Structure 1
Amino acid sequence: MPKSSINAFNRPTIDFLVVMGVLGAFVFFMGFALLLPAGIDLIYGQDTWFSFVVSAGIAFTLGGGLWYMFKPKEELRIREGFLVVSLTWLVLSLVGALPFTISGILPNYTDAVFETMSGLSTTGSTILGGTTTTGIINPSIEDLPKSFLFWRSLAHWLGGMGIIVLSIAILPLLGIGGMQLFQAESPGPTADKLTPRVQETAKLLWVAYVAFTALEFLLLWIHPSMDWFDAINHSMATLATGGFSTKNTSVEAFNSGYIDAVITVFMFLAGINFAMHFRLLRGEFQPFFAHRETRFYTLICLIGIIGVSFSLWFFDGYSILEAIRYGAFQAVSIITTTGFGTDDYELWYSFGAFLLLLFFFTGGSAGSTGGGIKMARWMILIRNSGREIKQIIHPKAILPVRIGDQAISQNIQRTVLSFFILYMFMFAAGAFIIALFGYDIMTSAGASIAALGNIGPGWGEFGPTDSFAKMPYLGKWVMIMLMMIGRLEIFTVLIIFSPSFWKQ
């Protein structure tokens, strides 16, 4: 028997040494990311660069040591891939929180982890600008050093396309088990492969991602109210559908219809499957415009823009142009789970506010950087519901669920239905736990869906103008887990809690 076959036969169900080795590689990569904000400090002559250099040194030492000792010599298997992905987002949040604590900007480590997980998961919820339950006054967003503002946006940008996908794209040494990591981490029902090789696919997706980020940066920078620093931060947060801003009042602070329009357009683009973007950049127009999910996503955005704008004009007294400006921005921001704000939707008339609340449960397209349930799943759920009604009328008929000309298999339908049930269960469980801390129903439900859907702002006491600083620390860890579960599409995280996952 070949030696490789003997090793595979003797290999444990889950090789934890292999998992630790791959985790070490991702932590080592995080060290390079941590050095970039230190450069921003040097540009602006600020003195917090040391916290990033020390954090990078810890990441290099810890990550490099784990990789050196436990470097994988065999292909990652599917269980190890799921375990690596789930642990990576948690471990990187723990490491990425170090600069906040070392510098003393966020002396409580839980707050630092919350802010970092919110960044990497592209949620956009923040504990800045509020007072904690222990009396610690967290600095406001605009009081942060430039390096930390940049770190928050960079965390968004890396987490948007996926740190693991980025690593597969630029680090050939992580080609081991690449497809398992890519499938487990990629958002949406399926991971869209543009080429037979997963490493090449990851590179192509990042080409589109970087191109759109650069284009938005240039369009924002030419406006006099934005300098290059604000432009790059908002570009990274937009394409990641994250929502971290450099201003206390988010995009509203710039008071510019032009900036609102540019960010609205790029939030919409970020909510489209990036595989479709790459095909469009290659001149493949017909597949792009014929893509059913893209068309459905566009329709939902139009419905949101028209409905919310009408409410602002008819009920809230906005002019037509103002209603379209603010309505379009808020609708697209929530649908794509970006979370930027130019208006306080909690002050709107109930019709527009309730319509926006419904969009908290939508999400962008599969394969986009957006969170939420995703448009592809909603299409299948709606078509399946329609099929069930027809089946009652024609009980003997064979009525497959179709998206365009493609019949959706029973396996996919079951998976989508299971996801939806688990999603709503996790939302309800999160709201219930948060309610145990004494919050009202709207506040609890809003916080839960804001974290699980990776949206950012919630409702009630955690609305678009509020901070999560006042939430008890245990509640913040619940939010941290919800953010991670939502970013990794529920199954990736929950599967490791299944007893069968650990059995031979």
Structure 2
Amino acid sequence: MSIRVVVRYLGLILAIFGAFLLFPLFWSAIVARDGAYLSFVIPIVIALPGGLLLFRYSPVERRSLSRREGLALVTCTWLVGSMLGALPYMISGVLPAFADAFFETMSGFTTTGATVLVTVGKQPESILLWRNYSQWIGGMGIITFFVALFPVLGIGAARLFEAEMPGPQTERLRTRMVDTARALWILYLVLTTVLYVVLRVGANVPVFDSLMVTLATMPSGGFLHLHESMSAYVDTPFVTSVVTLFMLMTGMNYALYFALLKRRRLGVLWESREVRAYLSIFVLAAVVVILDLVTRARLPFIEALQLGTFQVASILTTTGFTIADYDLWPHASKAVLLGLMLVGGCAGSTAGGFKVIRLLVLAKFSFRNVVSSYSPRSVVPLRVGNDTVPESMISAVAGMGALLALLLLGGFLFMSALGLDTVTAFVSVLAAVGIIGPGLGGVGPAQNYAFIPAAGKIVLSLLMLVGRLEFVTVLALVSRSFWKWR
């Protein structure tokens, strides 16, 4: 593996980061005039020329990337990008401590939505915009944008794309990686625009509020500029209904939307076994929560319907919006939400979590093992829908399940050692790895992560990265055999 190749393209990506910061700089200097423009000028001055110099003066013999170089570049991009993205928080004084600023930035880029900000509504508007904008950038993927913008990478584009958007997918875009990346970003932009227009025109939500809700919904992010999160719109059912719909949409495989546009019939979505399972999980969980809120919390049915469907969609898609303090809900509702934190959305979506397709594979794999126990000579192919799942994918899914269990256990023990209670320690780790944000206990919907010690914030930040890149991309870097430099 050549470090010069990694450094060369890391420089170009840093320059792109600098360009991303121009939007909040414009907002600070021209629109909001909140005096925070220097918070963006300084990192721009560091990133743009510095990144271009690295790209220009890092000579390489080839332009394409090997698989290991792709893995290293993706992980370094997210780490260095989060350090650079932390500068506006630190320079403005909003989050002067590095651990806090790094946590907030990593939470944004990974679309986790966990926050250490105590007084959200009192911060400069441009800083809040950067906070949500970082989610939107990370939702479709920093590297995906890079691949779409710079096709000069050649075959290396496939390495990068697979490293940043790993995992089993039953539906893929059967085109070149560069074309795929561009198509995904175009669709992402179109859906973002549609949601903004619906909120601004259809619901008459103020400009900044519409922008912030849109930038948080589309990437399945969850950050908002309002301390009350989406409970501020509980008296506007149209807004919560629209956001619920778009959360469910962002939790589905984006490749299906291209198939929908091509075939022009909604049945295309239902043909996907993963989508059927995903929507079935949503409906079943929502029904249980609604009935629990009606019978035990004594809420009116309409209110329970609004709160239940919204919160279930938010947790299932790992968006992390809160419409009520669900930590005060009956135990059955909290148990359902906790279970959904282990599920996540569909592969190929902006949602985090373990993914529905993996759960399907694990369930069928377990059933096959049961059959083999009493009929060892029988050969039972593992199928999801019309597709036969290869043994390599089954092994990968089982391995990821084991890694998830080990990470949850190790993270839980570490956070417990820092003095957190049992519920808070476990759920904080689950919410970080699952890219969810709010959890239960000390990190519940009415709380935040500000009280966690600096070491805990750094560990949770790294767990967010591991969860966002789905384990293997990051964990491969701790293997001794990985680091063979030329």
Structure 2 length normalisation: TM-score? 0.96
Question: 1:224: how far off?
Answer: 5.4
Q: Please list, as runs of the form range in 1=range in 2, the aligned pairs for 1:192-271 lying within 5 A after superposition.
A: 193-222=172-201, 226-255=205-234, 256-271=236-251
Identity of aligned residues (%): 37
Aligned to 1:65: 53
What corresponds to 1:33 in structure 2?
20
Contact 1:193 1:201 in 2 (8 A): no
1:103 corresponds to 2:83:
no
Q: Which moved further from structure 2: 198-207 or 254-263?
A: 254-263
Q: 1:423 aligns with which of 404, 408, 415?
A: 404
| Runs (5+) with no aligned partner, structure 2 | none
Q: Write out per-residue CA displacement over residues 16-48 of structure 1, whole angstroms, 9 at most, x where no aligned residue.
A: 011011111111000011110011112122211
Q: Which residue of 2 aligns with 1:304?
A: 285
Counterpart amino acid of residue 414 in structure 1: S
Q: Deviations over 1:384-415 (max 9, x none)?
A: 11112222232221111111222111111000
Query: Which residue of structure 1 lines up, in the alignment, with residue 392 of structure 2?
Result: 411
Distance in 1 between residues matched to 2:200 and 2:412, nearest whole Å: 40
Residue in structure 2 matched with residue 181 of structure 1 by the alignment: 160
8 Å CA contact retained: 1:191, 1:367: no
SS at match of 1:70: coil
CA distance in 1, matches of 2:170, 2:482: 22
Q: Determine which of 105, 113, 118 is the counterpart of 1:116.
A: 105
User: Deviation at 1:503?
Assistant: 4.8
Match of 1:80, SS state, is: helix
Q: 68, 81, 84: which one pairs with 2:70?
A: 81
Deviation at 1:435, TM superposition (A): 0.6
Say if 1:284 and 1:421 are closer, same or farther in 2 by CA, change over 3 A: farther
One-letter amino acid of the counterpart of residue 26, structure 1:
I
Q: Deviations over 1:154-178 (max 9, x none)?
A: 1111100001001111223444610
Equivalence for 1:5: none
Partner of 1:273: 253
Deviations 1:155-214, CA, capped at 9 Å, x for gaps: 111100001001111223444610000000014325964243111001111122111111
Equivalent-residue separation in structure 1 for 2:75 and 2:157 (angstroms):
15
Say if 1:288 and 1:71 are closer, same or farther in 2 by CA, change over 3 A: farther
1:482 aligns with 2:463: yes
Q: From the superposition, tell whether residues 183 and 192 of structure 1 become closer, same or farther in structure 2 (CA, over 3 Å).
A: farther
Q: Separation in 1 of the partners of 2:321 and 2:241?
A: 13
Residues 312 and 385 of structure 1, relative CA distance in 2, 3 Å threshold: same
TM-aligned CA distance change 1:80 to 1:173, over 3 Å: same
Residue number among 142, 164, 171 corresponding to 2:150 in the alignment: 171
1:4 aligned partner:
none
**Contact conserved, 1:97 with 1:112, CA < 8 A, in 2?**
yes
> Amino acid of the residue matched to residue 147 of structure 2?
I
Is this contact kept in 2: 1:361–1:372, CA < 8 A? yes
2:376 to 392, 395, 400: 395
Q: Deviations over 1:34-73 (max 9, x none)?
A: 1100111121222111211221111112211111112553
Change (3 A) 1:33 1:394: same
Structure 2 residue identity aligned to 1:269:
M
Q: What's the Cα RMSD here?
A: 1.5
- What's the secondary structure of 1:248's corresponding residue? coil
Deviation at 1:223, TM superposition (A): 5.3
With structure 1 as the length reference, what TM-score do the two structures score?
0.93
Q: Distance in 1 between matches of 2:367 and 2:26?
A: 56
2:73 is the counterpart of 1:94:
no
Q: Residue 246 and residue 283 in structure 1: after superposition, are their counterparts in 2 closer, same or farther (change >3 A)?
A: farther
**1:56 equivalenced with 2:44 (yes/no):** yes
Letter in 2 for 1:301: F
Q: In the alignment, residue 45 of structure 1 is paired with which amino acid?
A: R
The 1:126/1:71 distance shift into structure 2, 3 A limit, reads: farther
Aligned 8 A contact 1:74 1:176 in 2: no
Structure 2 residue 437 is matched with structure 1 residue 456 = yes
Equivalent in the alignment of 2:140: 161
SS in 2 for 1:304: helix
Consecutive unaligned residues in structure 1, runs of 5 or more: 1-13, 130-139
| Pairs within 5 Å for 1:350-389 | 350-389=331-370
Aligned length: 481
* Distance (Å, rounded) in 1 between the aligned partners of 2:87 and 2:153: 25
Quick one: distance in 1 between partners of 2:53 and 2:390?
45
